Chains A and B, each alone.
Chain A
């Protein structure tokens, strides 16, 4: 399928935001039964399910706007990696708990600013989703913040691993704030990602400073997720996520 070039801008925008949420939901789901404590297992699964809910709304909407009859399942299960528009940040492996918490801090702080701004969108579906999701994401951000503070300002070992986690995810944050082609074609509807960065930066910087961690200064950065260019990790993730639906189309339970 070559959906990358043919999607209307609004469908492409909804798909990009939906793919971020969908792929991170799948990643977080991989913690289930592997988290440090059963309570954390439940917390991560909850966050994953919040994201999945957002993804369902966004993918369904992308399909509706596209108007060729693809529903949320078609979009989630029947696209190949080059057709996914998520940022690479959400597809990289979970790593240890500190890596996952570093990614959660970065991503939920971004999503918080995104949805807070998207609440004012001229598109009622996007505005409605954002109004509901901003409350969910406020909790995701708080959850990650609590852990970054505790690990960063904890023992020598936890501090070193938290810093290593931050170092590992920082090369991927640039993509979040890049103004992709679709956003400029949707004035009043889409949010310009670059406008979100100052508020994001001030929140994250404060957390890192309280956690006694330094802001990483990576020497490279990721590019291309919004254009369908992904790390080798996405294919493996999709294989797991899509296998059942592709092997047994229309299966229900």
Chain B
């Protein structure tokens, strides 16, 4: 429950770990990252997220994840990670003729 605490990462000056908040706006949509907050544990993080991020009816579902549990790509690795995608035109579906009348491709 208190993964962030146990890992000892991302605890602020006052000892509460950081949580990333994901909100799903409507049924059928995916959860979107909306921001982060501090909370002593997962149950409180969920309640804080409700207060901070869904006060105006923004969502129907909330996920909270300990920030420490997120493995992020590093800005230093940006080139090897993402550059190769740009110059390989055959990876992009640009060589098809779109049949007439197909509106929803």
- Chain A residues near B (Cβ < 8 Å): 36-40, 42-43, 46, 139, 142-143, 146, 150
Contacts and interface: CB of A to CB of B under 8 A. Distances in A.
24 contacts: A36-B14, A37-B14, A37-B16, A37-B38, A38-B38, A39-B37, A39-B38, A39-B48, A39-B52, A40-B48, A42-B51, A42-B52, A42-B55, A43-B47, A43-B48, A43-B51, A46-B51, A46-B55, A143-B47, A146-B43, A146-B47, A150-B40, A150-B41, A150-B44
B23 interface: no
Interface string B17-51: 00000000000000000000111110110011011
Contact-residue size bin, chain B (C-beta under 8 Å from the other chain): 10 to 19
Interface in B63-98: none
Given A146-B43, A150-B40, A39 B14 contact: no
A105 B27 CA distance: 33
Given A36-B14, A43-B48, A46-B55, 10 more contacts: A37-B16, A37-B38, A38-B38, A39-B38, A40-B48, A42-B51, A43-B51, A143-B47, A146-B43, A150-B40
A146 B44 contact: yes
Nearest to B46: A146
Nearest to B49: A39
A158 B85 CA distance: 54
Contacts of B55: 42, 46
B49 to A, nearest CB: 9
Interface of B: 14, 16, 37-41, 43-44, 47-48, 50-52, 55
A146 B37 CA distance: 17
A139 B49 CA distance: 13
A115 B5 CA distance: 38
B53 to A, nearest CB: 10
Nearest to B39: A39
Contacts of A40: 48
Nearest to A149: B43
Contacts of B38: 37-39
Contacts of A39: 37-39, 48, 51-52
A97 to B, nearest CB: 13
B55 to A, nearest CB: 6
A50 B16 CA distance: 27
B85 to A, nearest CB: 38
A143 B47 CA distance: 8
Contacts of A36: 14
Nearest to A47: B51
A78 to B, nearest CB: 31
A162 to B, nearest CB: 14
A222 B16 CA distance: 38
A42 B48 CA distance: 8
B52 A142 contact: no
Nearest to A143: B47
Contacts of A142: 47
A42 B38 CA distance: 12
A44 B44 CA distance: 14
Nearest to A40: B48
Contacts of A139: 50
A230 B22 CA distance: 46
Nearest to B37: A39
Nearest to A39: B48
